[in-house]
């Protein structure tokens, strides 16, 4: 009996150790790479200073990573002989950008503390620093993720919510990742920065009834009914390079650039949350930061899983 109890205690101890090792911590690199946050912040600030749109691009990289099999930096992997990566997936092709900024950050970290900081953690911190650089909120980023050795084109094509989804489909897509409708509305506020290509909003401005007619007309010159697919328009026409709550005010005026944006304020269950954020930026900032931390916790590789890539574009 004593032997059985000893084995049971040992098993429980090992389980607890496994749980502890899988937890992320904001101080994960405090002894192994104490300058990690300043190195990432310096590079992000430089990139955003050179081009404000890069802030939105780096934020989007983190989102498009985490929604596909978790926050494991799979989105950064180039195609190779064993798999086709996620960069050519429908939601990512000719759209995702900022890879060169991540490369620079990784190179700087490899010089300072080689083999220590994961690409997945770089994405998480760079997303936060990008928002801060554009006058948005800050939040504490838990660290300790490791990098995947593979990527999934099919998962990227199926898991990332598209710009043509209606409210019900959006709620389902986010619910599948553990998010509430409130968190869907908060995370959608990331569209207060950045730009979108004509090809993803053309149908909305030409065919949807739930759009401000004058707003639609102003967009059609840069997004004709045919051609100009890669022409850009700001997701938030009021203050496209400032992280604020103008996005929600635009939705109230039926000036959402994407169909999926306007669906958040179209007589449905999320209208009240849009109204709240449009009048209270502090509440939006708090909810956004909390939702970003939750997103960063989506199925991370930790402990002995995955690896610390030397080059974010390929497995070691």
Token digits for 25? 């911590």
Per-residue confidence band for 16, with pLDDT thresholds at 50, 70 and 90:
very low
- Residue 202: what pLDDT? 98
Rounded percentage of the chain residues whose pLDDT exceeds 90: 92
* Residue for token pair 């990742």: 177
- Residue 232: what pLDDT? 97
Domains along the sequence of the chain with CATH: 26-161 (1.10.520.10), 167-294 (1.10.420.10)
The string of pLDDT tens digits covering residues 82-104 is 999 999 999 999 999 999 999 99
The string of pLDDT tens digits covering residues 250-266 is 999 999 999 999 999 99
Of 73, 37, 5, the residue nearest 305 (C-alpha): 73
Is residue 86 within 8 Å of residue 69, measured between CB atoms? no
Residue 216 pLDDT exceeds 60: yes
Contacts of 270 (CB under 8 A, 6+ apart): 167, 181, 184, 185, 264
- Residue 22: what pLDDT? 56
227: left (phi over 0), alpha (psi -120 to 50) or beta: left
- Residue 11: what pLDDT? 45
The model's pTM is: 0.92
The string of pLDDT tens digits covering residues 181-206 is 999 999 999 999 999 999 999 999 99
Point out the residues that are catalytic: 64
Per-residue confidence band for 115, with pLDDT thresholds at 50, 70 and 90:
very high
The string of pLDDT tens digits covering residues 221-251 is 999 999 999 999 999 999 999 999 999 999 9
Is residue 124 within 8 Å of residue 280, measured between CB atoms? no
């Amino acid at each position: 009996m004593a032997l059985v109890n000893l084995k049971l205690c040992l098993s429980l101890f090992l389980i607890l150790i496994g749980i502890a090792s899988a937890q992320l911590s904001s101080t994960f690199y405090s002894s192994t790479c104490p300058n990690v946050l300043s190195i990432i912040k310096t590079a992000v600030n430089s990139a955003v200073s050179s081009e404000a749109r890069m802030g939105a691009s780096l934020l989007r990289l983190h989102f498009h990573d985490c929604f596909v099999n978790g926050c494991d930096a799979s989105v950064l992997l180039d195609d190779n002989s064993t798999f086709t990566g996620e960069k050519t997936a429908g939601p990512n092709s000719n759209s995702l950008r900022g890879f060169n900024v991540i490369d620079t950050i990784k190179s700087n970290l490899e010089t300072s503390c080689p083999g220590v900081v994961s690409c997945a953690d770089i994405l998480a911190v760079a997303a936060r620093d990008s928002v801060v650089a554009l006058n948005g909120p800050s939040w504490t980023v838990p660290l300790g993720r490791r990098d995947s050795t593979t990527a999934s084109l099919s998962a990227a094509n199926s898991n990332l919510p598209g710009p043509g989804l209606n409210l019900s489909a959006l709620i389902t897509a986010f619910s599948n990742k553990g998010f509430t409708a409130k968190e869907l509305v908060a995370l959608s506020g990331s569209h207060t920065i950045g730009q979108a290509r004509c090809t993803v909003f053309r149908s909305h401005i030409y065919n949807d009834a739930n759009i401000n007619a004058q707003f639609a007309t102003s967009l059609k010159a840069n997004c004709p009914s045919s051609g100009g697919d890669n022409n850009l328009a700001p997701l938030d026409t009021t203050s496209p390079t400032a992280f604020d709550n103008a996005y929600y005010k635009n939705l109230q005026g039926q000036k959402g650039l994407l169909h999926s944006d306007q669906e958040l304020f179209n007589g449905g269950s999320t209208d009240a949350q849009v109204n709240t954020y449009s009048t209270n930026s502090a509440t939006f900032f708090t909810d956004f930061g909390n939702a970003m931390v939750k997103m960063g916790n989506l199925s991370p590789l930790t402990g002995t899983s995955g690896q610390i890539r030397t080059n974010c574009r390929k497995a070691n």
